[in-house]
Amino acid sequence: MVDSDDEEERMEHIKEEEQRMENSDDEEESMGRVAGRARLLAVDSEPAVARAVIAPYIEDIDSYMRYLEKLRRPTDYMPTTGQVHPSWRAILVDWLVEVADEFNFPADTLHLAVSYVDRFLSVGAIVTRELQLLGATSMFLAAKYESHECAHKAKDYCYVTDNSYTKQQVVKMEAHILHLLNFEMGSPTARTFLRRYVTICPRGDVRKLEFLCSYLADLSLLEYDCTKFRPSVVAAACLFVARFTINPYSRPWNLVLQRSVGYKVSDLRCCILKIHRLQSIGSYPGIKETAIKDKYSHCELECVSAMGSPREIPEYYLKDIKDLKNTASKKWKRSRHI
């Protein structure tokens, strides 16, 4: 005969094991969603397929995006506002990373929200105590723009600020942002360009390259100086540093990338060095730990934030590559006019 105490203990053990397995499945599913939100390409998409789909339209798309990024760039607002400092902005951006993860937003929504913050501060003034309100409302707007099925309401953004602001304040800030940005809410970000750049590099571990580029692009959001570069330049610099990290013994930039992306290494040098510096500390100077580094430390994201990179980029890699084909073409064109 089975002892009732033993039977009760056995049933309790079974329940605990079932709960553990259920929690494990939930955690695995959750991390799978995190990985999906960070990827640049569709989960079931291969670079060759992605490249073939957009090939007929690539020049027109790229031309329009380059025009749009120039048109909707933030200005150098730090010297004029006086109310916002680079470190405060970095803390705000790091907090927005946590908000995006809390609401299960894709990384594109995060980047768009940060662009709203910078564009707003370029044309409008704000008091320090409302900086978090600006960030939360920018995320609110970016989520609306990115998805017609935005499930969150203004009150949810009050909640993530520990109710530091009221629903009315969020709605009022929303109207203020829309007015100052002239309702021009579409704006290319570094991820917009990275999505195409990655398809130019089909060889090797594409998944790791994607996550590493995503990580570096997110880190670039912390650095105010990166707002001085066009998103297409930031994206190209992230790709350069990512390729250098994965294979430091091979030149990160080549003629294929130079011709397809449209930038020589000299065009990217300053941005490359800033991105590489951010990667080396995994944070913004003065901030000990960031949500970005923690997010990309998980196995589902290939632990890319833990990947080591040589402290110095060889000067040889930072020199321009001579394009003999284009040089010969230019010489031929000049000779026709002689």
Are 230 and 73 in contact, with CB atoms under 8 Å apart? Answer: yes
Q: How far apart are CA 126 and CA 117, in angstroms?
A: 11
Among 137, 158, 180, identify where a domain stops. 180
* 201-247 per-position pLDDT tens digit: 866 678 899 999 999 999 999 999 999 999 999 999 999 999 999 99
Work out the number of other CB atoms within 10 angstroms of the CB of residue 295.
Answer: 21
Higher pLDDT, 290 or 338: 290
* Residue 289 structural domain: 190-327
Report pLDDT for 26: 44
Is the pLDDT at 137 greater than 90? The verdict is yes
* 299-316 per-position pLDDT tens digit: 888 889 998 889 999 999
Higher pLDDT, 267 or 44: 267
Q: How far apart are CA 42 and CA 23, in angstroms?
A: 27
Confidence at 338, pLDDT banded by 50, 70, 90: very low
Are 132 and 95 in contact, with CB atoms under 8 Å apart? Answer: yes
User: Is residue 263 included in any domain, yes or no?
Assistant: yes
Higher pLDDT, 71 or 337: 71
Same domain, 194 and 321: yes
pTM for this prediction: 0.83
Which ranges in the chain belong to alpha helices (H)? Answer: 4-38, 47-54, 58-71, 78-81, 86-102, 107-123, 131-146, 154-159, 167-180, 190-197, 206-222, 231-246, 255-261, 265-281, 291-295, 324-336
Higher pLDDT, 35 or 54: 35
Q: Which of these ranges, 3-7, 37-41, 140-144, 318-322, has the smallest mean pLDDT?
A: 3-7
Report pLDDT for 56: 78
Tell me the CA distances in angstroms from 113 to 103, 118, 144, 184, 308, one per residue in order. Answer: 13, 9, 11, 13, 29
Higher pLDDT, 117 or 76: 117
Confidence at 323, pLDDT banded by 50, 70, 90: confident
Contacts of 270 (CB under 8 A, 6+ apart): 229
Report pLDDT for 149: 63
Is the pLDDT at 190 greater than 90? The verdict is yes
Same domain, 80 and 176: yes
Report pLDDT for 332: 41
Is the pLDDT at 130 greater than 70? The verdict is yes
The number of folded domains in the chain is: 2
Report pLDDT for 283: 82
Same domain, 140 and 249: no
What is the average pLDDT across 76-100?
85
Same domain, 175 and 288: no
Same domain, 274 and 307: yes
Residue 260 sits in a domain whose CATH number is: 1.10.472.10
Confidence at 284, pLDDT banded by 50, 70, 90: confident
